[in-house]
Amino acid sequence: MVDKMRIAVLTSGGDAPGMNAAVRTIAVMGLAQGHEVLGVRHGYQGLLEGELTPLTLSEVNGISRQGGTILGSARSKVFPTEEGQAQAKKMLKKHEVDALIVLGGNGSLTGAHLLAKDRPCQIIGLPASIDNDIGHCGLSIGTDTAVNTIVEACDRISDTARAHRRAFIVEVMGRHSGFLAMRAGIAAEADAILYGEAKLDEDDIVDRLRAILQRSFAPGGYKTRALFIKAEGVEVPTKRLVKRLQYHLEKDAPDVDIRETILGHVVRGGRPSGLDRCIAQRLAFAAVSACEAGLHDVMLAWQSPEDAGQATQDPFVRIIPIADVLAETTKLLNGTSPVVQARIALLKKAENLLAL
């Protein structure tokens, strides 16, 4: 028997496919256990403005399949300030919230950790970000769907590229993390994958891609298209790369064009994949249990094999203090994390081979 609680849930930052599946499971499981479940509208900004309303079973019925977030998200400039924090805590007290579950990426988890100070209520984080750039987290909610969307777009681009013997640079989201570029690049048979963590010099990039183009479109070659995936985090503008490579192509392979495609917000939405819905629901399930267990200032993570954290009854879900998550995130993003280093090492070896 668990004590009855009042649990609130908010979604914050960029939306990620699977957020709705998590919101539904929190509501369904919370209500089944006899708790009250409140939805906070429009992220932290809505919290400040007191937009907390009870979630009903009817409202969450069938939402797992929807992209975006039915709760809405929003940026708040006030929330991180001292006044914002005070106001947020006041609202949590006013609405008698026992536990707040926050779904979001690094910014949102930083906010959750800040809010956790002085424990206005229990704070539980769930990692939701298409970029998979959160520390101690194998796959964040939304990443798998985003990879599928990028791969599908690359398949389409490959169709037209092959029809014309063309090269394409496809830029994908991921300002601080090359994960999406890497995973989608491998899946899409990319000829090169460019990511910020490699800290490549513009001339080096051009030289490398030019060499690949020369090999790919050499007379008698078997390739009929070249595909380069570039993470947003690579500082050289895509247009500049295209221009410089076009210049070289005029000599190297005059019948070949190079084009760019920026896959922007298209990648953020869409029906969540089976895996994302599954991850979201299992994390949400553990989040309600974590509320009941009195946990505070922790995140629940879809476990990666290298990962630390405390076990749950779900072998794939671990409990990690948000402070540890944020510390590890810093290492992930500045490239000092062994996880990133292993990823890059593996990819370097593979790339030398794949760009045959």
Binding to its own copies (CB under 8 A): which residues in 136-175? 144, 147-153, 155-165, 168
| Binding-site member from 11, 122, 177, 337 for its own copies (CB under 8 A) | 11
| Options 278, 293, 296, 331; binder of its own copies; rule CB under 8 A | 278
Which of 39, 67, 105, 174 touches its own copies (CB under 8 A)? Answer: 67
Q: Which tokens sit at 25?
A: 């499971």
CB neighbours (10 Å) of residue 117? 11
Site membership for its own copies, residue 191 (CB under 8 A): no
Contacting range for its own copies; rule: CB under 8 A; set: 118-126, 205-213, 235-243, 344-352: 344-352
The closest alpha carbon to 161, from 105, 112, 223, belongs to 223
- At closest approach, how far in Å is the CB of 2 from its own copies? 12
Using the CB atoms, write b or e for 154-186: b if 16+ within 10 Å: beebbeebeeebbbbbbbbbbebbbbbbbbbbb
Binding mask 193-232 for its own copies (x = CB under 8 A): -----------------------------xxx--------
Contact call for residue 1 and its own copies (CB under 8 A): no
- Vertex 255 angle, CA 250 and 259, to 5°: 75
Q: Is 325 in the site for its own copies (CB under 8 A)?
A: no
Considering beta carbons, is residue 64 or 329 the nearer one to its own copies? 64
290 binds its own copies (CB under 8 A): no
Picking from 70, 73, 109, 115, the residue whose alpha carbon sits closest to that of residue 97 is 115
Q: Does 315 bind its own copies (CB under 8 A)?
A: yes
Point out which span in 97-105, 108-116, 229-237, 273-281 binds its own copies (CB under 8 A).
273-281
CB of 28 to its own copies, least distance (A): 6
Can you tell me whether residue 229 is helix, strand or coil?
strand
From the candidates 98, 131, 133, 276, give the one annotated as an active-site residue. 131
Burial-class residue 317 by CB neighbours within 10 Å (0-12, 13-18, 19+): buried
Within positions 75 to 134, which residues make up the interface with its own copies, using CB under 8 A?
none
The residue among 236 and 278 lying less far from its own copies, judged by its C-beta, is 278
Scanning residues 35 to 64, which ones bind its own copies (CB under 8 A)? 42, 56-58, 61-62, 64
Do the beta carbons of residue 273 and residue 17 sit within 8 Å? yes
Nearer to its own copies, 223 or 230 (CB): 223
Note whether 31 binds its own copies by CB under 8 A. Answer: yes
Looking at residues 233 to 262 of the shown chain, list those that interact with its own copies (rule: CB under 8 A).
255, 259, 261-262
**CA-based end-to-end distance of the chain:** 62
CA neighbours closer than 13 Å in the CB half-sphere of residue 302? 24
Q: What H or E segment, with its residue span, contains residue 70?
A: none
Residue 345 within binding range of its own copies, rule CB under 8 A: yes
The token pair at 332 is 């992930």
Smallest distance from the beta carbon of 274 to its own copies, in angstroms? Answer: 4
CB 120, min distance to its own copies, A: 25
Query: Is residue 181 at the binding interface for its own copies, with CB under 8 A as the rule?
Result: no
| 131: annotated active-site residue | yes
DSSP per-residue codes, 88-149: HHHHHHHTT-SEEEEEE-HHHHHHHHHHHTT-SSEEEEEEB-TT---TT-SS-BTHHHHHHH
Count of residues near its own copies by CB under 8 A: 94
Of 177, 303, 329, 337, which one interacts with its own copies (CB under 8 A)? 303
Burial (CB count within 10 angstroms: exposed 0-12, middle 13-18, buried 19+), residue 24: buried
270 contributes a contact to its own copies by CB under 8 A: yes
* Residue at 138: amino acid letter: G
CA distances to 37, 206, 211, 225 from 244, rounded to whole Å, are 56, 7, 13, 18
Q: Point out the residues that are catalytic.
A: 131
